Amino acid sequence: MSLIQCWRVCKIWRYLLSDPLFSKTLISRTPCCLLVNGFKGHFLVDLNQKTSGEYNVGVVRLTGCSKAVTVGSCNGFVCRYNAILLETTGEFSVYNPMTGEQLWVVPSEAEYNSFGFGYSPINSAYKIVLFQLSVGEVTKPFVTTVMTVGSGIWRCVKHALVFRSCRVIQSEWIYLNGFLHSICKGHDGTHSIIAFDVESERFQRLLLPQEFPIDPKARLISAVGVSEGRLYVTIASHNKMVVWIMKDYGIKESWTRDFEIRDDSHHQLKFCKLLNYTQGRALLLCEQQLYTYTSAIDCLVRVQVDRVPAIDKAWIHIPSFISFPYVRSQS
């Protein structure tokens, strides 16, 4: 029985699962689900329950602001952003979909063009990070504004010019191993992964495989993601998407060309988002619909989600019953 089903049908089980020590142990064994932002609100979809090709068991509608943007997911918590009247500043909140608890964060007055949500395992601290990244300006440093959840204080951190003439091409920051990751593209067409250490609040670079395309004129779209605790990058053209897995985190030589997705229908894979990839099976979001792909079928197969006819955005999420008292820590 999945964690979502336990939450829906049994209050006694829900109480037992809320024990903090048990919750922290359970999260490492809990299968991931899908956090969906549809046009009628936010939903959790149980990817491990499927009937006749439809994910229609364990679909839970979430409470809270339906127009909020998901910033990231970490250890069962979801960080959401609610823009204020289309201004550059807005309200953030940290939310546990399983318990319904929500903690609002004081808005920051800093300027930023992307943001992330991560966890520092050393200090057991959750942080919201606002990025003001230079776009081809070699004289302008990267600036981040950081808040440790529960502290109520935003801190400005300036960084050296470690990524000269770097244009960030992925707005989402992906969390893994205490780092937030995104992809940048240099003026010479080379790609690299920006990794922001949530603990030290410093940037570093992760090198991509030697075979990764470097042609600046190539019309290819790159993205970084996480599946089964491993970092992956995709490079997609019109009808092909190649998935590279970093088998040993931080080791360039461990990059492996692991999977290839092909589709000759009307879908353009360069505009599709790879949501999850495991054991030769991929889940993608294309044109507001979910699709699966396996090498055996060699084409995209649409997946119907009960009560969610169209999907705006989607993220992989691991649910937990961890409560807010165990989120707050010293800044």
Write the pLDDT tens digit of every residue in 211-251.
666 555 555 677 899 988 899 998 888 788 889 999 999 99
262: Cβ–Cβ under 8 A, 6 or more apart, which residues? 239, 240, 241, 298, 299
Q: Does residue 100 surpass a pLDDT of 70?
A: yes
Q: Does residue 72 surpass a pLDDT of 60?
A: yes
- Residue 46 forms part of a structural domain: yes
Segment among 102-116, 129-143, 269-283 with least mean pLDDT = 129-143
pTM (2 d.p.): 0.85
The residue to which tokens 């990839």 are assigned: 277
Q: pLDDT band at 163, cuts 50/70/90? A: low
- Residue 237 forms part of a structural domain: no
- Residue 60 forms part of a structural domain: yes
Integer Cα distance of 315 and 331 in angstroms? 28
- Residue 316 forms part of a structural domain: yes
One-letter amino acid at 162 equals V
Domains: count for the chain: 1
β-pairing, 221-227 vs 41-45, is: unpaired
Rounded to an integer, the average pLDDT of 9-35 is: 66
- Residue 145 forms part of a structural domain: no
Q: What is the pLDDT of residue 231?
A: 93
**Residue 315 is encoded by which pair of tokens?**
């993220």
Integer Cα distance of 327 and 317 in angstroms? 17
- Residue 49 forms part of a structural domain: yes
Q: Identify the domain containing residue 61 by its residue range.
A: 1-105+308-331
Integer Cα distance of 126 and 120 in angstroms? 6
pLDDT digits (tens, 9 = 90+) for 77-88: 999 888 654 455
Q: pLDDT band at 111, cuts 50/70/90? A: confident
Q: Does residue 3 surpass a pLDDT of 80?
A: no
- Residue 77 forms part of a structural domain: yes
**Residue 235 is encoded by which pair of tokens?**
């490079």
